[in-house]
């Protein structure tokens, strides 16, 4: 009997990773009655990360009310695993899909800080913080504020943290920072290596995806650099250019610099928890995927993270669209890429038919 392992990311904005698993598994079993299928929904720190850990390790969702990127009250949750590790997913509080509109200048990571505090209140002994899919470019100032850090301008007035206000901050008061953070092991699940500011930083590379125009990007980058300078004076060290500082609009910087967190590959942590290699070791076929296979995918997102654990295996990536050449994905260990949207039609046009398109793509898989 042949065995297939299905380990996809979500198709952002259309299908969750567990939905992708169900659809592909159904198609495979309809075509091949005798096939054994193991579905493992995964994520890399972005959308679906909390559910992936819950599926892999067991635990419970703990719901709470937090602030959205634009300051509205929303219902969110974190996952408490059985070993008292809390999984906080930024996308569930400060993510691009939380609200109908995005404003890169005004968006704040405050809600993510509220989730972290709620996890500590619930007795978390360790924290996994997934920081993909953010709507923010505030250097994590909002998150810090929610955890007790006060931010002041030159006239000693408290500053509301958001990207637009970073340049106003001239003093950072750490006296109120939640002391429990220094007593916890904090691991940040991150799939990018960009610095905080500069041409390869958070604003220039990621803010346009969050609604920023050219002038906004310049202003945000200036603010990120200014915040880094004030932070250096407070901390007596400069971590703004460390790998991953620019992740999630600079939240990576805040978590490392102010909370002593460690940045690690999100997909690697998730795959370890899923016992992926044990499941894949005797499989004939590995199926992975994500909504868009692009340049960022090459940095260590789900498809290539999965493929790196399956050397010598046949790995098929089901994707919405691919912007990566055959040579590139072959070199990364993927045997075949099947597009659900080979004509590259606009997302809003194909979103209603996402399930049917995935079914049609899965039908093309040959054992």
Tell me if 319 sits within 8 A of 339, measured CB to CB. Answer: yes
* Nearest residue to 257 via CA among 140, 160, 93, 118: 140
Rounded Cα distance between 241 and 202, Å, is: 11
pLDDT at 300 over 80: no
Stretch 54-76: mean pLDDT: 96
pLDDT digits over 330-366, tens only?
A: 988 999 999 999 999 998 888 899 999 999 999 999 8
Q: Is the pTM of this model over 0.85?
A: yes
Which residues have a Cβ under 8 Å from the Cβ of 275 and sit 6 or more positions away? 56
Name the pLDDT band for 203 (thresholds 50, 70, 90).
very high
pLDDT at 270 over 80: yes
The reported pLDDT for the residue numbered 140 is 98
Q: How far, rounded to the nearest angstrom, does the alpha carbon of residue 79 sit from its chain's CA centroid? A: 15
Q: Where are the domains of the chain?
A: 3-42+279-362, 49-266
Name the pLDDT band for 367 (thresholds 50, 70, 90).
confident
Q: What is the mean pLDDT of the chain?
A: 95
Which residues have a Cβ under 8 Å from the Cβ of 270 and sit 6 or more positions away? 42, 43, 44, 49, 52, 53, 56, 189
Any bridge partners for residue 265, and if so which?
190
Superfamily (CATH) of domain 49-266: Glycerate kinase, domain 2 (3.90.1510.10)
pLDDT at 191 over 90: no
The reported pLDDT for the residue numbered 81 is 97
Tell me if 87 sits within 8 A of 49, measured CB to CB. Answer: yes
Rounded Cα distance between 250 and 143, Å, is: 11
pLDDT digits over 243-255, tens only?
A: 999 999 999 999 9
Rounded Cα distance between 210 and 215, Å, is: 14
Tell me if 35 sits within 8 A of 28, measured CB to CB. Answer: yes
pLDDT digits over 91-107, tens only?
A: 999 999 999 889 999 99
Rounded Cα distance between 250 and 94, Å, is: 13
The reported pLDDT for the residue numbered 116 is 98
Superfamily (CATH) of domain 3-42+279-362: Glycerate kinase; domain 1 (3.40.50.10350)
- C-alpha triplet 134, 135, 137: angle, nearest 5°: 95
Stretch 175-191: mean pLDDT: 96
Rounded Cα distance between 201 and 216, Å, is: 14
Where does residue 198 fall: left (phi above 0), alpha (psi -120 to 50 degrees), or beta otherwise?
Answer: left
Stretch 315-342: mean pLDDT: 92
Rounded Cα distance between 149 and 311, Å, is: 46
pLDDT above 90 as % of the chain: 86
* Nearest residue to 203 via CA among 145, 134, 294, 299: 134
């Amino acid at each position: 009997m042949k065995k297939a392992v299905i380990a996809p990311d979500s198709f952002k904005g259309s299908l969750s990773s567990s939905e992708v698993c169900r659809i592909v598994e159904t198609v495979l079993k309809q075509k091949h009655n005798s096939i054994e299928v193991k579905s493992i929904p995964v994520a890399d720190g972005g959308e679906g990360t909390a559910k992936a850990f819950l599926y892999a390790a067991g635990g419970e969702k703990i719901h709470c009310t937090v602030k959205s990127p634009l300051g509205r009250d929303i219902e969110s949750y974190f996952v408490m695993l059985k070993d008292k590790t809390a999984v906080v997913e930024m996308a569930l509080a400060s993510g691009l899909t939380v609200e109908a509109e995005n404003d890169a200048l005004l968006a704040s990571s405050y809600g993510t800080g509220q989730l972290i505090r709620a996890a500590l209140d619930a007795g978390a002994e360790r924290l996994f913080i997934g920081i993909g899919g953010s709507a923010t470019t505030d250097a994590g100032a909002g998150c810090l504020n929610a955890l007790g850090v006060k931010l002041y301008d030159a006239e000693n007035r408290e500053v509301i943290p958001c990207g637009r206000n970073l340049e106003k901050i001239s003093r950072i008061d750490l006296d109120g920072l939640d002391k429990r953070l220094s007593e916890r092991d904090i691991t940040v699940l991150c799939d990018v290596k960009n610095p905080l500011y500069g041409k390869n930083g958070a604003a220039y590379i990621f803010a346009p995806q969050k609604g920023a125009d050219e002038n906004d990007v310049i202003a945000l980058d200036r603010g990120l650099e200014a915040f880094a300078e004030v932070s250096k004076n407070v901390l007596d060290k400069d971590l703004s250019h460390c790998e991953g500082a620019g992740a999630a609009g600079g939240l990576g910087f805040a978590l490392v610099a102010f909370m002593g967190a460690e940045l690690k590959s999100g997909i690697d942590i998730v795959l370890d928890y899923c016992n992926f290699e044990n499941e894949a070791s005797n499989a004939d076929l590995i199926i992975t995927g994500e909504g868009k296979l692009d340049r960022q995918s090459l940095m260590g997102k789900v498809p290539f993270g999965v493929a790196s654990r399956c050397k010598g295996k046949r790995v098929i990536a089901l994707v919405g669209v691919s912007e990566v050449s055959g040579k590139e994905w072959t070199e990364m260990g993927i045997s075949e890429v099947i597009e659900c949207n080979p004509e590259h039609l606009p997302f809003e046009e194909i979103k209603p038919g996402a399930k049917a398109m995935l079914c049609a793509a899965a039908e093309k898989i040959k054992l």
